[in-house]
Amino acid sequence: MKAFKAKAVYQNGSFRSLPLFTENGIVISREAYEGDIISFEDKYIFPGFADVHVHLREPGFSYKETIGTGTLASAHGGYTAVCSMPNLKPVPDSAENLKQQLDIIERDACIDVYPYAAITVGQMGEELSDMDALAKDAVAFSDDGRGVQSDELMEKAMLKAKALGKMIVAHCEVNDLLRGGYIHDGEYAKTHGHRGICSESEWKQIERDLKLVEKTGCAYHVCHISAKESVELIRQAKAKGLDVTCETGPHYLILDDSNLQEEGRFKMNPPLRSRQDRLALIEGIKDGTIDMIATDHAPHSAEEKGRGLEKSLMGIVGIETAFPLMYTYFVETGIISLEKLIALLSDNPRKRFGLPGGTACGESADFTVVDLSEEYTINSSDFYSMGRATPFEGYKVKGKIIHTYKGAEKIF
């Protein structure tokens, strides 16, 4: 048996002063213990965070990130479970292709990795993947990076996913509305001569998908929402009782297009939008319309991100900075409680995606030890990820991850 003591332990939605008791790597219920206790004094114990939107880049793009470096970076950020996106080579659109990723996960991952399978063959949006064969090993189905353009094909995918007991996780983007844009179609784009991406390209496909959800009864989750219209559509869908959830990222909650600079580390898809959009996202977090925080951790090489705002590839890293940023800008400022933040980072994603682990009795003892008082400056050279492109370089934050445990064993 092992017992872990801290200033407070988060368990089942609230903080308690009793130690966290474990046996054979599993959290157990106990009131007293006479053996050695691992004490973290003035630190806090939280359930390991779970990120349902991470790009680990392997197989196919290991010069950007590997499953080894990506999961170590995740542990550095306090995460013990991630869902890995399918824009890989080969695309996990068949059991054979997915097995290549599963083999690397088994060999190299230091935390739990739950891979997505593609909705369509090659993520090309023309025919469904082998969803029957993939369902056993896939956490859900997604074509992340691309929206499924065909209404008919998306309806077929939803019906098949429902029959298989799986969720559709959608990157929503109408290709015809992109018009060569690469940042938000707002004030910065206008004043600096950049081509903009309109918010409608996101919310219009969400609107379409929600109608299909109502028709099919499919479980549905929306990736990285960024627009105020998206928040309102999802709010209305939930009021109707549809089986719908969504996520947003720390960068959409803290930054907007007024923070843009002419550097690739400010370029991601969807883009940083207006102040009004950011405020609507914050309201969505506060009222429960937005269910969880996901980082969309998307590492690229330094060369790919060093071509300026127009020509750099889209995507930033974020899994090592999500907790301190959200704690500093949302809990310390009184916008949300610490308990709410833990729900957004751990409880809610685990519940929605069926991910085991945490600090509840009977679960694998997957937890992180955090010093909420420690202040530091974000420095990308300290990252364990191979990616370095963060818009938060130089930001001062509070809340440092000290240790991360998996099955009561220290992994970071």
What does the pLDDT look like over 221-264, one tens digit per residue? 999 999 999 999 999 999 999 999 999 999 999 999 999 999 99
CB 158 within 8 A of CB 212: yes
The yes-or-no verdict on residue 17 having pLDDT over 90 is: yes
Tell me the β-bridge partners of 405.
367, 410
Please tell me the predicted confidence (pLDDT) of residue 302. Answer: 98
DSSP string, 30-68: -S---S-EEE-TT-EEEEPEEEEEE---TTT-TTT--HH
DSSP state of 327: I
Q: Which helix (H) or strand (E) holds 20?
A: strand 20-23
What does the alpha-carbon distance between residue 9 and residue 38 come to, in Å, rounded to a whole number?
13
Residues labelled catalytic: 296
Please tell me the predicted confidence (pLDDT) of residue 246. Answer: 98
Interaxial angle between packed helices 151-164 and 200-216, expressed in degrees from 0 to 180 and rounded to the nearest 10? 50
Please tell me the predicted confidence (pLDDT) of residue 33. Answer: 80
User: Which single residue is written with the structure tokens 């009131």?
Assistant: 31
pTM of model > 0.95: yes
Any idea how long the chain is? 412
Please tell me the predicted confidence (pLDDT) of residue 32. Answer: 80
Mean pLDDT in residue range 307-315: 98
What does the alpha-carbon distance between residue 231 and residue 203 come to, in Å, rounded to a whole number?
9
User: Which single residue is written with the structure tokens 């020509």?
Assistant: 311
3-state SS assignment for residue 201: helix
* Backbone φ, ψ for residue 16 (5° rounding): -140, 160
Among 116, 108, 119, 114, smallest CA distance to 62 is for: 108
CB 52 within 8 A of CB 84: no
Tell me the β-bridge partners of 54.
84, 297
What does the alpha-carbon distance between residue 287 and residue 282 come to, in Å, rounded to a whole number?
9
Percent of the chain with pLDDT over 70: 100
Mean pLDDT in residue range 356-375: 98
Q: Which amino acid is at 410?
A: K
CA torsion sign for 133, 50, 88, 110 is negative
CB 59 within 8 A of CB 89: yes
Please tell me the predicted confidence (pLDDT) of residue 34. Answer: 82
CB 380 within 8 A of CB 371: no
Please tell me the predicted confidence (pLDDT) of residue 128. Answer: 98
Q: What contacts 374, CB < 8 A, 6 or more positions away?
A: 398, 399, 400
Torsion of CA 308, 312, 315, 320, to 10 degrees: -50
DSSP state of 358: B
The yes-or-no verdict on residue 35 having pLDDT over 90 is: no
Domain range summary for the chain, segments of one domain joined by +? 49-355
Average pLDDT, the chain: 97
What does the alpha-carbon distance between residue 192 and residue 203 come to, in Å, rounded to a whole number?
25
Give the CB-side neighbour count of residue 49, counting CA atoms within 13 A: 34
In CATH, what number does 49-355 get? 3.20.20.140
What does the alpha-carbon distance between residue 80 and residue 366 come to, in Å, rounded to a whole number?
6
What does the alpha-carbon distance between residue 219 and residue 233 come to, in Å, rounded to a whole number?
16
Tell me the β-bridge partners of 38.
4
